[in-house]
Structure 1
Amino acid sequence: RFDGQNELLAVVVQWSDAAFIEDQDMWWHAGLQREVFLYATGTPHLQDVFARGDLTDDLRNGVLRITAKAGFPGGDVAGCTLEAQLYDARGKAVFRKPLRADFSAPDFPRGEVSLEAEVAKPKLWSAETPNLYTLVVTLKTPNGEESSRCTVGFRKVEIRDRSLLINGKRVLIKGMN
């Protein structure tokens, strides 16, 4: 509810069938295993951003695919814009103009927008050279702006002729069970 007081409950079950000690390197028992972080947002707001950096078949150019979900808790919201800009390691913008999509929310709880753009000759990500870009996604609404950032790498992982390839190069993984 947005107009009053809310109560948040966390239920921790003391015992379950998952409490047995099967894994030798870690034990799973009841309780909160990680930090819990609660935050409030405006209306509408960025709910989730997913970005993936792929490569074309010739491994020369990148393809950036972005999916953003905006939450619209109640009401009809028009005039929303999603913008995305990619920055290299030096902070220089990759696109001349940010990628952009306009959308509105006529009474549905979540709006999803997808953007795609080609990136000319990106620096490739690998374990030896972990080149990363910074993606900034901004939701512009009549009520203001909200931005989210994440890192994106461009790579191609494939299995060909029984070999694991990253960016077209054979990779050997050494390890045990």
Structure 2
Amino acid sequence: MGRRIDYYDDPHAPKANSLVPSVNVAVENDRGDILMIRRTDNDNWALPGGAIDLGESVTQAAIRETKEETGIDVEIAKLVGIYSDPKHVIHYTSNGEVRQEFTILLKGRVVGGDLRTSNESAEVRWMTYREVEHKRLDDSMRKRIKHALDGSETVVFD
């Protein structure tokens, strides 16, 4: 399996050769814990999410990706932000793709399901924000989690 390598403002990073709209979903349970996955492609913790497929909406992709990676069914509650900084590129070593970041962050509510892993998630857990702070995450993911949990009604454009 290939690896995912995130670069931010790194002069040695490979040049982007694609732009793929994707989603992340910040989901809290009734105790305020955050739904997190440990990715299989880089071992980092992250919010569930992934690429938006042709023929589906942003909301459909968010619901599908959350279910596929975590086993949890969600409904989408609000838009948190759009992240498209061209200084953030993601290198997928399996095929040489280097994506410019383009992620739409949504907030979701649990409507069902049970935690389970997938081929993209080595581990799936509900975590307190304090636990998340001590996990290995890419800086861009850390920023998204902070924005999702800050309670602001203002949409972030980053």
TM-score where L is the length of structure 2: 0.24
Q: Which has the larger radius of gyration?
A: 1
